[in-house]
Structure 1
């Protein structure tokens, strides 16, 4: 049997999360909710899960990062780290849609979850990133960015993007007990499943659904006497 050790992490939401998976189970997972310190928190999270699993970074066989959609600044932290780590370790780097990890966690933890369902994360600007799923592993459409009131009607909802707009989407539609964030344990498990099945994984490229808030400065204004 081929040795597998998947290091996965996600910085597309306020959850800075990392996990190590051996192809059968999550060995260690660490998460901190902090939307402003992705760059500071990710590497310590990675070090923590490797240490807690009693492993070494040199044993990692694949690096997987959440591809978003998400805010530009946080998202690039995870994807750039994945590329840098993979290059250093000499292993492949992949990405998985962040909403896929959220849907996988929600559906596997809630066997009675109605299907299809919608997974949603906060997109800021009073919008959400969302996608529709027919089961834990199958995305039917999306990802998209939209106002919460424009989410598909009458479908169960999971994720912080739904929870924070409960008054708009309807509290009854939000699945109780479902995770609000795409934790890395689910991301790692989903990636390990796909790798074991020989399914192709995407390279670490971001899913951007709108332009970043930051802009390059324009030319300085001319000052005349």
Structure 2
């Protein structure tokens, strides 16, 4: 069984999936919430609720899969710290999944498209895909116009970032807007089973830019008058 969660966007999403030979990933439980300010408060209760729904104890887990962004620093670190702490406590491996890859995976698209999420500061996190299982570019951050710069005409763009800038990235067809832990779990299980798909990553954050918070500099010397 694989416990998956992602806190790299406004979504606090948790799911438990079990790999069944000949069938693939079977969902045993899930919890979904959207709140840009309460990742810390909602993640742990959501994990507890999903395990309870499935009737599974933490020591029954085989692995943990966690969204590694790109995403804002504060929300992203909540999921990563929780995943690493649980992995160390339970003695199970922790696998990272690019959040853009999870959105792409859930789309099930077979033709080229792009994924864009909200990066704030009037920018988006984005990547282009050959299909839902094959990323064509590295994740990037920048103005919405960057997503289609040099891309084929009419390239579809999905994700919350696309919905925020419809005048640039198209007026419709943006679903799914946010990642789901079910997609994170399905992608991780597929890769662990040897199927094709985006690579699993270390459980380290994909920030792409420096966090807003900065260490305070040295105090200025005060010269007596």
Q: TM-score w.r.t. structure 1 length?
A: 0.90
Q: Secondary structure at the match of 2:221?
A: coil
Q: Deviations over 1:122-145 (max 9, x none)?
A: 001000001111111110112011
Paired residue for 1:53? 54
Alignment of 1:208-219 (within 5 A): 208-219=207-218
Q: Deviations over 1:143-196 (max 9, x none)?
A: 01120122215210110010011123221xx425x2110110111111111111
Q: Deviations over 1:11-50 (max 9, x none)?
A: 1000011100001211111111011111111111111111
Paired residue for 1:127? 123
Paired residue for 2:6? 10
- Counterpart CA distance in 2 for 1:170 and 1:93 is 36
Q: Cα distance, 1:202 vs. partner?
A: 2.1
- Counterpart CA distance in 2 for 1:100 and 1:127 is 19
- Counterpart CA distance in 2 for 1:137 and 1:116 is 11
Q: Secondary structure at the match of 1:145?
A: strand
Is 1:185 aligned to residue 182 of structure 2? yes
Asked whether the 8 Å contact 2:110–2:132 carries over to 1, the reply is no
Unaligned runs of 5+ in 1: 108-112
Asked whether the 8 Å contact 1:114–1:156 carries over to 2, the reply is no
Q: TM-score w.r.t. structure 2 length?
A: 0.90
Q: Secondary structure at the match of 1:121?
A: strand
Q: Secondary structure at the match of 1:22?
A: strand
- Counterpart CA distance in 2 for 1:198 and 1:61 is 18
Paired residue for 1:88? 89
- Counterpart CA distance in 1 for 2:163 and 2:66 is 24
- Counterpart CA distance in 1 for 2:192 and 2:223 is 63
Paired residue for 2:22? none
Off by >3 Å, runs of 4+ in structure 1: none
- Counterpart CA distance in 1 for 2:64 and 2:146 is 35
Q: Deviations over 1:46-65 (max 9, x none)?
A: 11111111111110110111
Alignment of 1:20-59 (within 5 A): 20-23=16-19, 24-59=25-60
Asked whether the 8 Å contact 1:20–1:185 carries over to 2, the reply is yes
Asked whether the 8 Å contact 1:115–1:156 carries over to 2, the reply is no
Q: Cα distance, 1:198 vs. partner?
A: 7.1
Q: Secondary structure at the match of 1:141?
A: coil
The CA RMSD measured in Å over matched residues stands at 1.5
Alignment of 1:134-213 (within 5 A): 134-152=130-148, 153=151, 154-171=154-171, 174-175=172-173, 178-197=175-194, 201-213=200-212
Unaligned runs of 5+ in 2: 20-24
- Counterpart CA distance in 1 for 2:141 and 2:115 is 12
